[in-house]
Amino acid sequence: MTAPSTRRLPEHRVAPSVAATTNSHLQITDVTKNFGPQAVLKGVNLSVAKGGTTAIVGPSGSGKTTLLRLIAGFEHPDTGSISLNGTLVAGEGAWLPAHKRHIGYVAQDGALFPHLTVGQNVAFGLDAAKLEGGRRAVAARVAELLEMVSLDAAMAKRRPHQLSGGQQQRVALARALAREPELMLLDEPFSALDAGLRVATRRAVAKVLAEAGVTTILVTHDQAEALSFADQVAVMRGGKLAQIGNPFVVYTRPADRATAEFLGDAVILDAWLEGSLATCSLGGIPVRRPPAQGRVQLMLRPEQIRIAEDGPIRGVVVDTDYFGPETTVRLKLNVPQEVAEHADHRYPGGGEVITIRHWNASIARPGMELCLRVVGEAVAFPMED
């Protein structure tokens, strides 16, 4: 484990859970959960390291909130078990109710108590009788917590409805931090905020949690949020975890096509794989750890396909979408020379339309021919039947 302050630097972004599996704070084993006839979780296994940040990301209805509620102790798993710090808290006959788990929980809308002031909300989990110094100590702790989440101490007298959405989320975080939990669960806490505030609040929350050294699990349907927030990303789909790994790995080397497309835009091309070289409309592209040989589907991220004057691939611009800082360009690929010349070549494609991005809108007008170059490796998936 590195110190919290340096843990967020890019070169340290290796999932601690991958590095040290023995040191797991939370262990989820074969958990299933049904609501009536509907299977929501179909066997989930997840290990979260102490002090680590894990994002559970998945589309709506994939079961990620249910998983979080199971960890928090709001629901019982049907089968499987959950243990915290090596102690079984759910499953195999064990059950520790939510209020004894010592887990912090921040809900989507903050779930601040509307009948209490901000200060009373933050102090809700504090017990004045148990704290040395009684009420004064509580007040001091509230002020300290508000400062920790960058809120003015004067805010303590306000009511939750007088705060903005971002401020409410910070109060919810301060409230959850008050009891110094070792594990913090964040259930889409930023999704109700508008785009600009979302990024700022996410950064602030990540900083506070990292400084406090709290193990954090974030549930989100926003892949950018998951990739930027966590050092371990677990992709959830249809009640199962499709892939768990460090953000860079899951983004660049997704386990399957659905994961690839969920985590970001993807260019998918039919290709012929021999050894570790795939041939497709973009020419020959190296593939890391080829899963199969022969016909495969090749996945590239749009940013891997660059417009370059000396690029070997050619494509004609079909249309463009202007977004300001960047332009989305749809290109129809030419059939490569070698493929056209060698009739016996078993490369299956040619003439696909792909979408790439470019910063300069003026060089891509419909009808123009562009030269392209592929950077880096591609990921190959076995053909789907």
d(CA 319, CA 216): 43
**Which residue of 178, 206, 241, 242 would you call a contact of another protein, by CB under 8 A?**
178
Interface with another protein, residue 78, by CB under 8 A: no
Interface with another protein, residue 145, by CB under 8 A: no
Helix and strand tally (H, E) in the chain? 11, 21
Angle, helices 165-177/195-212, rounded to nearest 10 degrees: 20
Cβ atoms of 256 and 263 closer than 8 Å: no
Shortest CB 283 distance to another protein, Å: 22
Q: State the DSSP code for 157.
A: G
Q: Which among 16-24, 78-86, 182-190, 372-380 is the span making contact with another protein, rule CB under 8 A? A: 182-190
**Which residue of 40, 171, 300, 331 would you call a contact of another protein, by CB under 8 A?**
40
d(CA 328, CA 356): 6
Return the number of the residue (114 or 367) whose C-beta is nearest another protein: 114
The total number of residues shown for the chain amounts to 385
**Which residue of 103, 205, 208, 209 would you call a contact of another protein, by CB under 8 A?**
103
Subset of 236-275 contacting another protein (CB under 8 A): 251, 264-265
**Which residue of 77, 104, 239, 245 would you call a contact of another protein, by CB under 8 A?**
104
Per-residue H/E/C for 160-212: HHHCCHHHHHHHHHHHHHCCCCCEEEEECCCCCCCHHHHHHHHHHHHHHHHHH
**Which residue of 10, 11, 99, 367 would you call a contact of another protein, by CB under 8 A?**
99
d(CA 306, CA 345): 26
Residue 64, number of CB atoms within 10 A of its CB: 30
Return the number of the residue (64 or 170) whose C-beta is nearest another protein: 64
Q: Which among 62-70, 87-95, 132-140, 142-150 is the span making contact with another protein, rule CB under 8 A? A: 62-70
Shortest CB 107 distance to another protein, Å: 5
Interface with another protein, residue 303, by CB under 8 A: yes
Surface-to-core class of residue 111, CB atoms within 10 Å of its CB (0-12 exposed, 13-18 middle, 19+ buried): middle
Classify each residue of 165-187 as buried b or exposed e, where b means 16 or more C-beta atoms within 10 Å of its C-beta.
bbbbbbbbbbbbbbeebbbbbbb
Shortest CB 250 distance to another protein, Å: 12
Interface with another protein, residue 166, by CB under 8 A: no
Q: Which residues bind another protein (CB under 8 A)?
A: 35-36, 38, 40, 60-66, 72-74, 97-105, 107-109, 111, 113-115, 124-125, 172, 175-176, 178-179, 185, 187-188, 191-192, 194-195, 199, 221-225, 227, 251, 264-265, 302-303, 323, 326, 357
